[in-house]
Amino acid sequence: MSHLEIQQINKSFGVNTVLNDVTFSVEEAEFVALLGPSGSGKSTLFRIIGGISQPSSGSVNLNGENINGKRGSISYTPQTSSLMPWRTILDNVLLGQEITGNRDVEKALQMIERAGLKGFEQSYPHELSGGMQQRASFIRSILSPQSLILLDEPFSALDEFTRLDMQKWLLSIWSEYKRSILFVTHNIEEAIFLADRIIVLSSRPATVKKEFTIPFARPRDEAILLSDSFLQWKKRIYQEMREQ
């Protein structure tokens, strides 16, 4: 039943306005990418949606219910690797469930296997590569009970090849579990390849500059990355981002 509505969110730190009248929505089981230059306030927006920071004005609604300042309604994966170094991969993946009450070890083991992390259940995060760690954090989100997942630049630290693999993996898991995803990135290609809809934020103070609905059919194949229409989209969005 996830349906997120961001209504006229403003946020300033002192005299410094970061978010200015940000309004958009995420439909149920939709994959929305939030595209904006560095420092535009994407992480700040996530903190507001997650309820750990209050907007100066405006409201965040989930399923019609106001969740301003209310925690625990979304599942969040921070920008940096966010696994707890003292927990094994299995325990890390179960953390989201642990907070809300019940651990489902069986399912967690299944998911770990699907993520190609079989054999690493009892390893500690530092024994895994960056890509593997990100996969584990994402499994943690999928296993958490919340229906809306916020991903803050999960792949920004990965190289081009790993990144593409991870994107394909993310799409396959998402199509199976059908959660709503709000995905922050400043990589245009990544946004087009992954999302149903792209929301372009301006640089500071951030407002919603434009929304694009991406028409590529699912399941998406990496071949579309080289197609003409993909390049056309890339051009359009790039121009949109360049104009100030």
Residue number with CB closer to another protein (36 or 50): 50
Contacted entry of another protein, Mg ion, ligand ATP, none for residue 41, CB cut-off 5 to 8 Å set by kind: ligand ATP
Strand blocks (E) in 107-222: 148-152, 180-185, 197-201, 208-213
- Among 103, 108, 104, CA closest to 121: 108
Of 11 and 135, nearer to ligand ATP (C-beta) is 11
Indicate whether 55 belongs to the interface with another protein (CB under 8 A).
no
Q: Which of 133, 180, 185, 207 binds another protein (CB under 8 A)?
A: 133
Of 43 and 53, CB closest to Mg ion: 43
Using CB under 8 A, which of 2, 20, 40, 77 touches another protein? 77
d(CA 67, CA 171): 28
Is the Cβ–Cβ distance between 241 and 37 less than 8 Å?
Answer: yes
Alpha helices in 178-216 (DSSP H): 188-194
206 strand-pairing partners: 19
Give the one entry of another protein, Mg ion, ligand ATP, none that residue 179 binds, where binding means its C-beta sits below a cut-off of 5 to 8 angstroms depending on kind: none
Is 66 near another protein (CB under 8 A)? no
Answer yes or no whether residue 39 interacts with another protein by CB under 8 A.
no
Under the binding rule (CB under 8 A), the answer on residue 52 touching another protein is yes
Q: Which does 51 bind (CB under 5 to 8 A by kind): another protein, ligand ATP, Mg ion, none?
A: another protein
Residues 66/15, Cβ–Cβ less than 8 Å: no
Residue 58 — φ and ψ, nearest 5°?
A: 100, 175
Contact present, 12 and 56 (Cβ < 8 Å): yes
Q: Does 124 bind another protein (CB under 8 A)?
A: yes
Please report how close the Cβ of residue 130 comes to another protein at its closest, in angstroms. Answer: 6
Residues in contact with another protein, counted by CB under 8 A, come to a total of 34
CA dist 153 and 79 (Å) reads: 5
Segments in 30-87 forming alpha helices (H)? 42-49
Cis peptide before 215 (omega within 30 of 0): no
Q: Pick one of 25, 43, 123, 203: the residue that binds Mg ion (CB under 5 A).
A: 43
Looking from the CA of 157 toward its CB, the CA atoms found within 13 Å total 14
Out of 20, 40, 44, 75, the residue judged to bind another protein by CB under 8 A: 75
CA-CA distance, 227 to 163, in Å (whole number)? 19
Residue nearest to Mg ion (CB): 43
Q: What does the binding site for Mg ion look like in residue numbers (CB under 5 A)?
A: 43
Q: What does the binding site for another protein look like in residue numbers (CB under 8 A)?
A: 47, 50-52, 71-82, 84-87, 95-96, 98-100, 124-126, 130, 133, 144, 146, 150, 157
